[in-house]
Structure 1
Amino acid sequence: MKKTEYSMKITDRVILGKDKPVLFSGPCAVESFDICMEIGSKVKNWADQHGFAYVFKASFDKANRTSSDSFRSIGMDQSLGVLERVGKELGVPLVTDIHESYQAEEVAAVVDVLQIPAFLCRQTDLLLAAGKTGKAVKIKRGQFMAPEDMKYAVDKVRSTGNNNVCLTERGFSLGYHNLVVDMRGLPIMRQFSPVVFDITHSVQQPGGQGGSSGGQREFAPILARAAAATGIDGFFIETHPEPAKALSDGPNLIPLHRMGDFLEMLKEAWTLGRKFESFKVE
């Protein structure tokens, strides 16, 4: 199976799809400047140490929470202000989600990568609006989408003249409150664009705690190593100094103090995967 010849330029020094894995990592949501800086500064140091290009991630709005009573945001303007400040102080590019077409231009003025949530990956107007900003566009594969059908989401972004687009894997819905990752989907999607593996949401149990989602973080290292061994281009990991106190997705988050060890493991698995990437059985 032929891998893509495409790459996704985030900045002049951070390019997804080349010979260095890209790490998209941070808290699930923008909680405060202090939390974002604590996480971003530590993860950046570990990323540099273990050979990852780093993009800081935090959502300015969690518009798809299970319950309307769940935390969503500290406010769009305040969240974008925090992201902008973190990016400048750490000297790193930024990624955040957009959920509505009208958000694309305003958010693109602050961040370097616009992320399209899985449930919205077929929304043509949203994809076109993101593509038209000229910023890199990161599309999560919907839990209901076949990997080969994600080609059309990529094509929608490219129809705007923007070729800086990638796909992200985060598991298939299987029954209730469960997601399963089919590793075959990674090389299939990699024919169309660079591919990122979402470690955090692949161990999520949507709605598994009644009004909120649960998770099985104990399986995160296993899935991460398996995905890395396929030779993909990047990884998405959410982390927090105290996952139990995080305002969103706590059960899935990697404890911040374990991230250095996690990245060391991940880089070793990725390096081995790239070594044998061309091995085929016909």
Structure 2
Amino acid sequence: MDEQHRLAERFETHRSHLRAVAYRMLGSLSDADDAVQEAWLRLSRVDSNAVENLAGWLTTVVSRVCLDMLRSRTSRREEPVGQHVPDPVQDAGDGSGPEPEALLVDSVGRALLVVLNTLAPAERVAFVLHDMFAVPFDRIAPLVERSPVTTKKLASRARHKVQGTPAVPAADLARQRKVVDAFLAASRGGDLDALLAVLAPDVVRRADPAALPPGAATEVHGAHSVAEGTLVFGRRSRFAAPALVNGTVGIVVAPRGRLLLALTLTVEGEKVTEYEVIADPARLRQLDLAVLDA
């Protein structure tokens, strides 16, 4: 076996780790695979015998590639919040289709991917490497071209954005979460009775026109009418997850981890008394989104 084949085998032992790092930084499986491939190309062009810590070297390289890709996205204003993402097609069976990405989304967390997409490139890299992969700040600092102290502040700022600040006490947040979880479960299951059980009799549903079929009413009143309309949402609910939306429990709908819709819900007692479906990109960008604790 020649040296190049041996190097390729060593690289393959690190591929899954590199892919995990890149996916959390980029939020796209195809982009993550591109970043990992670029790391391999760079490794193949250097004297690998001079690389003492291959895992650390590769993590640094793939992180630098990801940071460049994030900065390029920002400069070109790619993938704005609220951009339409089509429903996934059937898995191609080659490891690059929607099924592997769906598994990755579930493993990372749909709401977390949405919030990570709101971070500045250097914040995202610092947070992912330190908080998710325990990379020390003195190793991250050269990547983001900051001092270790400033890099620590970047990660702290990102962590605060990810965790958010609840606008209600913990007990109220837990009660809202229970109701929203029941609402989401009923929507996913197409269970009209379960949905009616969680909706107030005089519930109101409002929605941006972009979230509705042509000609549908933007405002609907009454539990039965709202429930029937909510079940239409069921196909999209498989891409939904609870999240902290403007400080209270809401829902994000994010195919492939990219924000498409957000739902804000008003919960009184054990019932949803009102909810709004936000689809307008300008309104989505104004939302304060964070991750709910499990």
Highest CA radius of gyration, 1 or 2? Answer: 2
TM-score over 0.5 for the pair: no
TM-score (norm 2): 0.24
Which structure shows the higher helix fraction?
Answer: 2
Which structure shows the higher strand fraction?
Answer: 1
